[in-house]
Amino acid sequence: MEKEEKKFVNKAEEEEMEIHGYELCQWKLVLVTVGVICSGGFLLLLLYWMPQWRVKATCRKTTLKDCEVVLLRTTDEFKKWFCAKVRVMPSSGASPLQNPDPVGHKVSNGHTVHFCESAAEGNKNYLRKYLPIRYFTHHSTKYFWNDSAQSFDVVRGLDDSTFCSSIHNEHSRGLTKEMHDYRKMFFGINEIAVKVPSIFKLLIKEVLNPFYIFQLFSVILWITDKYYYYALAIVIMSVISIVSSLYTVRKQYVMLRDMVAAHSIVRVSVCRGNQEIEEILSTDLVPGDIMLIPSNGTIMPCDAVLLSGTCIVNESMLTGESVPVTKINLPNPSEYPKATGDEIYSLEVHKRHTLFCGTNVIQTRFYTGELVKALVVRTGFNTAKGQLVRSILYPKPTDFKLYRDAYWFLLFLVVVAGIGFIYTIVNSILNEVPAHTIIIESLDIITITVPPALPAAMTAGIVYAQRRLKKIGIFCISPQRINICGQLNLVCFDKTGTLTEDGLDLWGIQRVENARFLSPEERACSESLLKSEFIACMATCHSLTKIEGVLSGDPLDLKMFEAIGWILEEATEEETALHNRIMPTVVRPSKQLFPESKQATDQEMELFELSTGYEIGIVRQFPFSSVLQRMCVIARILGEKRMDAYMKGAPEVIASLCKQETVPVDFESVLEEYTKQGFRVIALAHRKLESKLTWHKVQTINRDAIESNMDFMGLIIMQNKLKQETPAVLEDLHKANIRTVMVTGDNMLTAISVARDCGMILPQDKVIIAEALPPKDGQAARINWHYADTLARCTSSSPAINSEDIPVKLVHESLEDLQMTKYHFAMNGKSFAVILEHFQDLVPKLVLHGTVFARMAPDQKTQLVEALQNVDYYVGMCGDGANDCGALKRAHGGISLSELEASVASPFTSRTPSISCVPKLIREGRAALITSFCVFKFMALYSIIQYISVTLLYSILSNFGDHQFLFIDLAIILVVVFTMSLNRAWKELVARRPPSGLISGPLLCSVLSQIMICLVFQILGFLWVRQQPWFERWTPESDACNILDATNISSAHNGSETLDDDEHNIRNYENTTLFFISSFQYLIVAIVFSKGKPFRQPCYKNLLFVISLVVLYIFLFFIMLHPTELIDTSFELVCVPYEWRLRILIIVIVNAIVSVLMENVLLDMILWKVVFNRDKQGEYRLTMPQPPQEAVDRRGVCFLSSLFGYREKTPKAKYMHLAQELLVDPEWPPKPRTTTEAKVPSQENGSYQIITLT
């Protein structure tokens, strides 16, 4: 079979996978069955763990159209394998969105349908009527065979390639019962089913974990070797671990199911093709159904586009915003007389017309008795809520160096165990040990080397950190991410509601008359402005509505409307039912705003009310669009013939849509002045519409026809104050060498101002604005570089550029000594999109110093996080949940400041909406990470110490006793491990970051040096005891405590006699000596590895750890220096002279001193600074004078570096390497008022040629 080209599913999407087809092979199945039987089931386990091996071992490769099994591999960096069985279902058609074809097809889904002449007539009719449709299910998504593409594909709903006109003209009548049933075959039940696995299934999945299989093997081996107590202890520990894991996993499944299941099944009314209304369960909905939205609201069970009426929706589940959103019906392009053309319906573009699954429809409004209808476009896991749940059910693997290194370290232990395995076999054969004993002891050395308590020990620190986070109001749904948070070196912050207060205050207004700005006015509700167009715009141009009599909507709109003191009145349900859709919302000034005479009579009051009946009706509303950055309304003043158009939005956008003669000449400078001070500025515009525009014509007019030739009216200045804690928190992060980045949807100059105010950009730092323009009229894409502080001067007549405005780089002998003025890049979302598309080579350089990203859409926030991760930053993201879900999920550590359901997407959620949770989380992360390192190092030393002891004892055909193993593994190891993890986080963030992996210089040196020390002192004790004058091969009659008797006994018993009931030769002098030395060594390395400052509290503040060590030390000193028969018998210790006990004590004390000096003096104080000094991670230092002591230390380090022959290495992280390159690049950063242009990519390499124009 010739080589088939690679096929993909979900091409160019986040879940892109490579797909291969296989069919079952009988002879391979037979071979695998034989292999499983011969290996005692081990081969079956191996195939269970490796899906790609399982498929290749039992199947043969074939084409996708003939396959019975598909093998999938993700195309991301993880390259994970999955397999799925291809199933066949009968269908009367090949595509769910087309009408089923009752006529028999000869070919379907790549297969010819043959009709057997001998078959029964009924079967023939069945075959003619139905076609075999092939599909498979992966991660709750069905993939159907696509014959035209010759691959499998997801069946999408009406959100894919459906025109807006088609939605109204073809899909607005509803489905017939037959068509509904046909589509349901493809789309299935409309539910987001979170199936809670049974206890048995979870148990099997947990028990078949490779580690538990190894434990089972170990327990069987120990029982065979009659180590019953130890085996029982390990079984109990494993059972506790499994039960705990099952409880946690099942609890998470139940919580997610309960969250999703709430209101997921409701009764809904749908319109059938014959116009009759049928009530069905929401689980029966399919794309194409017309759903009726009840007037009292509902929880949406699907994604649907609104065809008629309006809805007020709470989308907090989706966006995190609890502000109600008004949804209007999708306009029908065919109804516009001046239609600009039809467009394809898109959930993102037309989200103002789309009701999303899981969102709460609070109330609806309909007109002239017409029902509020919505067309179902997506169901089940394809909906917005379904995709969110899928991302939780099937998260991406956590790629963290610690976990990768852990596997390598375990592999190293396996190699060490292999060496011991071979040594044991060789030594036992030479000593003519029985074959049964050789097998048991050689396998036993493997179980000793790989510690059985390792997983429980590693998770202990994370569990304790999770508890501490919960106490300070930070909740975690992904505990493994706590360790990763210890490595964060960059944090992105949303602005509004995160760095600044949620609410906006009206600072003032600045009106325009005769194309000139008037003086700023503090109050907008003055008597003179009551009937002005400016106030009319503030009163009408908003999306406010009344819910149960309370005014609600966007906080900015609410604050603006409240500032003028007007009243909003909406048509009642009865009125809208009687009148058509032009029954307007009315706004009018409150009576208090009119000058009122105190002495007025009742008759005069009636006349006054008639004369002051100033009302404005909002005839049509064009909602705010984040893409257009503006909103517009058409309104009519009571009694006026002509209507008015009012518009508000981003000042730059509004000014571009106004007549240039109405825009003040100093517009840019005034706007810049406000934005520099951190104000949020909204511009207003107005236009008198032509008298020929009737109310009915206004309802169908295109938005573009209204939003042009406007008169510029002025600015509304809103103040968004910084949160009180923001500057202090950012200062703490900067001191800790953690970069901070602002990602906001606000104006760029406002964002830069806020960044300066909060200390994100220091006063002496320069800000470079990158303004990227897409290709246009044959011109290539380009980036114009402006310096924010000189923006005003650039537009002035002076062409000179101040040399002080350009960051100066002073290159020194060492990159560490390099000093420079820091600079920051700022850009908006449009520029960011152009740079991503046309300037790929510049992206790493820009994100390296990018600090302010303004006007960023939700998907662009996610792209920015990815770009930062691509240059090896560990990225944190802190947002209030509004439009930050994607970035919160993608970041290494996402912290949501919202407790709404959107926080399910974020690994961490803070109960208090304050960024003070960020340094707390990083501190806990660092403490947990260091705890993980300490525990792993301790467990590694525990294994190696025990390995050395047992190997030495094997050389004399001896071993530790069952109770000795039990005491070491339970009383010492478990107690120490679970108490040494209790150290709390250090009280402040320091500039140094902990190592990211186990395979790093400092950690390896620490572990290897301690291994060598333990090895030396164990061998010393082992050989020294054999040199003692009283030493002999121990027998029951031996009494070394009485040297004279021991000498006599020595001459009498010089043979190779062994005790009958001590078949393992446990009782001997070497065993007793090594037991005491190794037991103390475990406690010594526990103290040595329990590091405190700068990431954790000192170990002496860990009360339980200190108590455990003191009790264990007292017990060991007691049994060593004051032997008792009961304990000696239980531990199978032999009596040794008191003089030798004192010598063991000396060995232990010297061992402790050497270990402490090696770890805390030689490694931490000397080698760390000389060889492993990576505090600055290769980054430049800011221009700061060094204190004299630091300069002395620096010279000392340089001397030691030359002494050790150490040369500074190129940093591994991409951003560090790039920073070093840019420091010596004379063309970077770009100079003011220059342009970087991208030329068309060459065919050879596809890269862009970038040229800089001055």
* Contact between 174 and 279 (Cβ < 8 Å): no
From the candidates 303, 405, 494, 644, give the one annotated as an active-site residue. Answer: 494
The position carrying tokens 């760390």 is 1168
Strand partners, 513: 516
Contacts of 650 (CB under 8 A, 6+ apart): 629, 630, 682, 683, 747
Cα end-to-end span (Å), the chain: 59
Spatial neighbors of 889 by CB under 8 A, at least 6 apart, are 391, 905, 906
Pair type for strands 893-896 and 875-879: parallel
Place of tokens 């230092």: 1181
**Does the active-site annotation cover 147?**
no
Residue 739 bridge partners (DSSP): 490
Long-range contacts (CB closer than 8 Å, 24 or more residues apart) made by 294-298: 294/269, 294/364, 295/363, 295/364, 295/366, 295/372, 295/573, 296/363, 297/360, 297/361, 297/362, 297/363, 297/364, 298/266, 298/268, 298/360, 298/361
Q: Could you tell me the two tokens for 845? A: 């350089």
| Of the candidates 910, 857, 851, the residue with the CA atom closest to the CA atom of residue 887 | 857
Q: CA geometry: angle at 755 spanning 741 and 481, to 5°? A: 30
Of 948, 919, 1085, 916, nearest to 1006 by C-alpha is 1085
For residues 421 and 426, what is the distance between their CA atoms, to the nearest angstrom?
9
Amino acid at 698: V
> How far is 55 from 50, CA to CA, in rounded Å?
9
Report CA-CA distances (Å) from 85 to 40, 64, 69, 205.
Answer: 27, 12, 5, 20
The string of DSSP codes covering 823-858 is EEEEEEHHHHHHHHHH-GGGHHHHHHHEEEEES--H
Alpha carbon of 742 to those of 415, 527, 758, 1022: distances in Å?
Answer: 48, 41, 11, 63
CA distance 418 to 407: 16
List, edge to edge, every strand of the sheet that includes 325-328.
Answer: 298-299, 360-365, 310-314, 325-328
Distances (CA, A) of 1063 to 188, 226, 700: 67, 11, 98
Contact 452, 218 (CB under 8 A): yes
The 3-state DSSP class for residue 308 equals: coil
Task: Name the E strands within 307-412.
Answer: 310-314, 325-328, 354-355, 360-365, 373-378
Q: Strand, coil or helix: what is 1216?
A: helix
Crossing angle of helices 454-471 and 917-954, rounded to 10°: 160
Q: Distance (Å, rounded) from C-alpha 1068 to C-alpha 1066?
A: 6
Contacts of 648 (CB under 8 A, 6+ apart): 537, 541, 630, 631, 654, 682, 683, 684, 685, 716
Catalytic residues, by residue number, are: 494
